[in-house]
Amino acid sequence: MGMLEKTDKFDPDELIEEFEMVTKDAERVQRDTLQKILEENGRTEYLQKWGLNGRTDPESFKACVPLVTHQDLEPFIQRIVKGDASPILTGKPITTISLSSGTSQGKPKFIPFNDELRDSTMQIYKTSFSFRNREFPIANGKALQFIYSSKQFKTEGGLAAGTATTNVYRSLQFKNTMKAMQTPCCSPDEVIFGPDFQQSLYCHLLSGLIYRDEVQVVSSTFAHSIVYAFRTFEQVWEELCTDILGGVLTSRITVPSIRTAMSKLLKPDPELADTIHKKCSGLSNWYGLIPELFPNAKYVYGIMTGSMEPYLEKLRHYAGDLPLLSADYGSSEGWIGANVKPKLPPEFATFAVLPNIGYFEFIPRTNNNVEEQDHIEPVGLTEVKVGEEYEIIVTNFAGLFRYRLGDVVKVMGFHNSTPELKFICRSNLLLNINIDKTTENDLQLAVEAAAKLLAGEKLEIIDFTSYVDLSTDPGHYVIFWELNRESGEELLNECCNCLDRSFVDAGYLSSRKTNTIGPLELRVVWRGTFQKILDHYVGQGAAVSQFKTPRCVAPSNNTLLQILCSNVGKSYFSTAFS
């Protein structure tokens, strides 16, 4: 280990300098990166099929190779999964497969993963850490990381498969990088890799409390997991205190490997138990819980943009005065940009694209229909314009060529010559019945508007999703809400009308006025419904670290609709346009 630790030390100033250098001449770096990708993979069946014949310049690449979606690549990926080791998409054989969370489409996508993707992950981690550490220095501390690794399994062709986060967490490089950043995880590996998420979560909390004075960062992959962890803490804090007081682990932890690992950490500590008990008893509605528990924490860190924005209010409640820092921008398919302006609040976070981790193109977004959108020529990384919205196209080192990621971003500015992107929404998550085109972002804004009506009654939306109900004529939008407690009828009727009126899409408004879309329906589900959705995905092998509540449920996603519809407590129809 000694050797590795030496080589993994890194100098944040050096990394910042390197980042400044590659972003100064982003166009040249992009050409070089594409050349490298095509030299490594030019002999593959996929690229030969498009007649590139060894050319590596962007012009030939764009002229020969078509834009694709995951669906187009699926037959090729399936052959790799089944064990075909010939150069199909990559020159070197793929030995690992990443699974996307599967929350958008109802089933996980298989995505090739290799050493280059792992290395670019570490590059992004280290780059954004260097910028973060300049503003919020941390030294010789620990991180309370709510991370969970699902099991890796073997595909029928013998490849290791797991969620993208699992493939990273299981690599030695991840551990060394966390060490080099001076924020090793408080929890033993057995907790991170445990088979039971609830038991792992309990032990993450317990490990954090044992090391409470050393914790300098509280983080998770997604903001949702941090909120979920502290909502759980509200339920189990007294039990945690009992464990610390007597030095004996609760009987609810039954996984032998976790019990063994935790019993090494846990010693009777009446003083610590008493401190935590006093802190928790003294809080008003758990406001400022995180800094009370972890007095030396500098910030809370995780992905907080896009579909995570609805959890920010609750996260701020728990974090009190601690800054919330948004983590980097990527997907199961690979990374795109680093947050190099960590002081910006999450709602304004931007991500500077690293021009050497992939080749990027951008399709300008128009307000025209999807078919027209498909005929617009993409532009290069350095050709994008500030204030415009684009869909991202990725070419990476792991066999994705001109791949439509499905993300819409807005260019907020430039860092040297590389663009700074703000994540807007997924391009495919649309509620659509007639001529309406409602994005995830539109839905979020409507829910936020209606949530303001609840605030006065101290009511909170724990989670929400939506779906298009075409069983009625005309079809209508259905919004599902889970609230922290019961609410009066009148208030929920008002919320329902507010939701209906808050959709800004012109197509929706005109369709509602002419009744070609029916009145919006608000269905309030029982407490714990969204927990059942999480359990369902985890049961299918998804990692909690990667779980995102789907904001729009596809009609084909029967299981999810069944969970939601069988847990509806009350339902309300809008009278906003009648």
Alpha helix positions (H), 9-114: 12-24, 26-41, 45-49, 58-64, 70-81
Please give, one letter per residue, the 3-state secondary structure of 280-345: HHCCCCCCCHHHHHCCCCCEEEEECCHHHHHHHHHHHHHHCCCCEEECCEEECCEEEEECCCCCCC
- Return the pLDDT at 84: 78
- Return the pLDDT at 1: 25
- Return the pLDDT at 90: 73
Residue 426 bridge partners (DSSP): 407
- Return the pLDDT at 277: 94
- Return the pLDDT at 408: 87
How far apart are alpha carbons 174 and 180 in whole angstroms?
Answer: 10
| Dihedral, 140, 122, 185, 420 alpha carbons, nearest 10 | 80
How far apart are alpha carbons 352 and 324 in whole angstroms?
Answer: 19
Q: Which helix (H) or strand (E) holds 559?
A: helix 558-565
**Tokens coding 193:** 């890799």
Q: What angle do CA 483, 484, 488 make, to 5 degrees?
A: 65
Find the radius of gyration of the CA atoms of the chain.
24
How far apart are alpha carbons 486 and 465 in whole angstroms?
Answer: 18
- Return the pLDDT at 42: 80
Give every CB contact of residue 374 below 8 A, 6+ residues apart in sequence. Answer: none
Nearest residue to 265 (alpha-carbon basis) of 275, 281, 253: 253
In a 3-state reduction of DSSP, which class is residue 423?
strand
How far apart are alpha carbons 398 and 155 in whole angstroms?
Answer: 18
Q: Which amino acid type is present at position 228?
A: Y
For CA atoms 181, 182, 186, 190, give the dihedral sign. positive
How far apart are alpha carbons 419 and 439 in whole angstroms?
Answer: 24
Whether residue 502 contacts residue 446, with contact meaning beta carbons closer than 8 Å, is answered with yes
Give every CB contact of residue 429 below 8 A, 6+ residues apart in sequence. Answer: 104, 439, 440, 551, 552
**Tokens coding 555:** 């009609």
**Tokens coding 384:** 């994008």
DSSP-derived letter for residue 153 is E
The pLDDT tens digits along the chain (578 residues) read: 232 333 456 788 888 888 899 899 999 999 999 989 888 888 888 888 888 878 788 888 888 888 988 888 888 888 877 877 788 777 787 777 777 765 555 566 788 777 887 788 888 888 888 888 888 988 888 889 888 776 667 777 777 777 666 666 666 666 666 666 667 788 888 888 887 888 989 999 999 999 999 999 999 888 888 988 998 999 999 999 999 999 988 999 999 999 999 999 999 999 999 999 999 998 888 999 999 999 999 999 998 887 788 788 889 999 999 999 988 887 777 788 888 899 999 888 899 999 988 899 999 987 655 555 567 889 988 899 999 999 999 998 888 889 998 888 899 999 999 999 988 777 765 777 766 778 777 888 899 888 888 888 888 888 899 988 878 778 899 999 999 888 888 889 989 999 998 887 777 777 787 677 889 999 999 998 998 988 887 777 666 766 778 888 887 788 889 999 999 999 999 988 87
Neighbour count for residue 39 (Cβ, 10 Å): 12
